[in-house]
Chain A
């Protein structure tokens, strides 16, 4: 009977598609409760992935991101509403504090509604810029949906995003077209390494404010690839914030809609894309976990390392200069509900730094083997000719992956007096060794002759 119960429990857990690595409490901020129906499929999908969804209005008295000084929710979705103020619970500071405590935020903007002041402030703080004109939206005269926006060209149909760079993993790939209706385009600041675009506007798109009555748009907010329709920010503490330019993307109406792109009938794949975006934002994907970190004196093949997770780390505290040292680290990636072996992008490499203030070595780690849910990376090297306190450090920061910064401290000592090579092992010293022993032999011979030639002294003694 018991096994039947456990089997039942197992299937129940199995039914849950994905569980975030950062918690299940999700707050959806929505001003008009009546609008909830528009997002029912989106919210249903989130619930089926294991989130405990709370829908609340920003005007609600009881709404608070924090409880007893800790986060009351793990993730927040901000959906657009009519009012420009979000109330005392959702000020810019409260949102930033929420991120400082590793909470994740998904912000949806809309060209039909004003962007709340606090959201605008937070985005500016993070160096994400949106047009200040109310109602500004992204228009493209080449990639529009001729069904719904035959005149205005403001419903964009785009393919799924490609890999951002050859050394960055793509978590948003898919099949089909994404509909982006009436989006608020964003531009990302050049200075911040924390920002990364998820979905860029095509090169023919531009930002347009309908208030401008002029025939020609003279100074658009941004054009082409400068504009991002969905952008992301990952803080140093790996808290994530995603800006979705068009809240309509999340609505049922566009989840699987028939559309026409350049005369061809297509079906929008927003549901799939939005699932990927929320999965990334709420840390279901792109989460790295560091396992056991091992280093040891490399004495050839005689010593084998223990990769078992059950045995705790037992690393040496001290090495000598010019020692051969081997280093191994176990890294897993959280994908959807479980840990899988982490494989870096094709042109990317995980690196080990052996550093005292600055790195003396920075070495690429190569994957040595894989367990069921981790990859073991390793490298062997010779400690530098410098004694002091060193760190084995892995500092791995990439777009869309949580940051890794892990250190293990060791002492590197100099040679002990009996560890130097003996003189006769250095062939260059043989002449001087010979010099010493010739001197000694000559001295012995001299002493012998001196003692043997004593009789001549007698003549001196006689005179005495």
Chain B
């Protein structure tokens, strides 16, 4: 979603003309401006549900990273436990990303046949399957 919103944001702030004239210190200031602009645009344009999806995906990334660093630190002794714990977050991330693609209003044209409700139902079914497998695999 953010990549798509960027072209829309760029002409509004009229930044393209500025980097050509500014010095290096001015460039870093501009980079900060760009990031801020992107963030503001994201806040303004992105629908609330997509924001919700993004925050959940962020949460999953954090949980996966924590488990991975624990594995690096302590070792992978019950390896099946590490695999199922880590792949639960990765799988959940992939499913959530799929839901985000299917329900994003910007992708409406590509998913004519799939309603957001149908996408959500698929997502719930897929997630339940994933949890079932992970809990079984960790024994």
Residue A4 CB within 8 A of the other chain: no
The distance from the CB of A193 to the nearest CB of chain B, in whole angstroms, is 49
Contact with A along B54-74 (1 / 0, CB 8 A): 001001100110110010001
Instruction: Count CB-based A-B contacts (< 8 Å).
Output: 87
Given A436-B138, A449-B52, is A429 in contact with B105 using a C-beta cutoff of 8 Å? no
How long is the Cα–Cα vector from A460 to B78 in the complex, in angstroms? 48
Pairwise interchain contact B84-A439, C-beta atoms closer than 8 A = no
Interface-facing stretch out of A64-72, A93-101, A196-204, A440-448: A440-448
B84 touches A420 (CB 8 A): no
A446 and B52 in contact, given A423-B78, A436-B138 (Cβ under 8 angstroms) = yes
Q: Does B82 contact A (CB under 8 A)?
A: yes
- A149 vs B63: C-alpha distance when bound (angstroms): 103
Min CB–CB distance B101 → chain A (angstroms): 15
B59–A442 CB distance below 8 A: yes
A residues in contact with B49, CB < 8 Å: 450, 453, 456-457
Interface centre among A420, A434, A440 (most CB of B within 10 A): A440
Sample of 19 more A-B contacts, CB < 8 Å, known A428-B78, A434-B85: A423-B81, A423-B138, A428-B75, A429-B78, A429-B81, A431-B67, A432-B86, A433-B81, A439-B63, A439-B89, A439-B131, A442-B63, A446-B56, A446-B96, A449-B52, A450-B120, A453-B48, A456-B48, A460-B47
Interface residues of B (CB under 8 A from A): 47-49, 52, 56, 59-60, 63-64, 66-67, 70, 74-75, 77-78, 80-82, 84-86, 88-89, 92, 96, 105, 116, 120, 124, 127, 131, 134-135, 138-139
Q: Which of B84, B116, B139 has the most CB of A within 10 A?
A: B139
**Which residues of chain A are within 8 angstroms of B47 by Cβ–Cβ distance?**
456, 460
Q: With A and B bound together, what is the CA distance between A460 and B120 in angstroms?
A: 16
- Report how far A432 CA is from B81 CA in the complex, Å: 6
CA distance A318 to B60 in the complex (A): 47
Contact partner of A432 (CB less than 8 A), chosen from B56, B85, B131, is B85
Closest CB in chain B relative to A102 CB, distance in Å: 58
**Known contacts A429-B138, A442-B60, A443-B127, A436 near B116 by CB under 8 Å:** no
A-B contact pairs, 14 of them (CB 8 A): A423-B138, A426-B78, A429-B78, A432-B70, A434-B85, A435-B63, A435-B85, A436-B85, A439-B131, A440-B88, A442-B60, A443-B127, A449-B52, A450-B52
For the complex formed, measure the closest distance between the CB of A204 and the CB atoms of chain B, giving whole angstroms. Answer: 71
User: Closest Cβ of chain B: how far from A211's Cβ, in Å?
Assistant: 83
Interface size class on chain A is: 20 to 34
Residues of B within 8 A of A429 (CB): 77-78, 81-82, 138
Q: Do residues B74 and A428 form an inter-chain contact, with CB atoms below 8 A?
A: yes
List B contacts of A440 (CB < 8 A): 88, 131
Q: Return B125 CB to nearest CB of chain A, in Å.
A: 12
A435 to B89, CA, bound (A): 8
Contacts of B124 in A (CB 8 A): 447
Judge if A422 is at the interface, Cβ distance under 8 Å.
Answer: yes
Q: Is the CB of A432 within 8 A of B139?
A: no
Give me the 3 closest cross-chain CB pairs, A-B, nearest first: A432-B85, A429-B81, A435-B85
Find the residue from A436, A438, A443, A450 having the highest chain B CB count within 10 A.
A436
| B48 to A, closest residue via Cβ | A456
A436 engages B88 (CB within 8 Å): yes
Q: Which residues of B are found within 8 Å of A432, using beta-carbon distances?
A: 67, 70, 78, 81-82, 84-86, 138
Q: Taking CB as reference atom, which chain A residue is nearest B91?
A: A439
Q: Judge whether B66 and A435 touch: CB under 8 Å.
A: yes
Q: Given A429-B138, A460-B105 in contact, is the A435-B86 Cβ separation under 8 Å?
A: yes
Residues facing B in A156-181 (CB within 8 A) are none
Residues of A near B127 (CB, < 8 A) are: 443
When each residue 403-425 of chain A gets 1 if its CB lies under 8 Å from chain B and 0 otherwise, what string results?
Answer: 00000000000000000101100
CB-CB < 8 A to A436: which residues of B?
84-85, 88, 131, 134-135, 138
A121 to B99, CA, bound (A): 95
Q: Which residues of A contact B138 (CB under 8 A)?
A: 423, 429, 432-433, 436
Chain A residues lying within 8 Å of B80, measured Cβ to Cβ, are 423
Of the candidates A423, A438, A443, the one having the most CB atoms from chain B within 10 angstroms of its own CB is A443
Q: Would you give the shortest CB distance from A143 to chain B, in whole angstroms?
A: 73
**Closest CB of chain B to A60's CB: distance in Å?**
82
Smallest Cβ-Cβ distance to A456: which chain B residue = B48
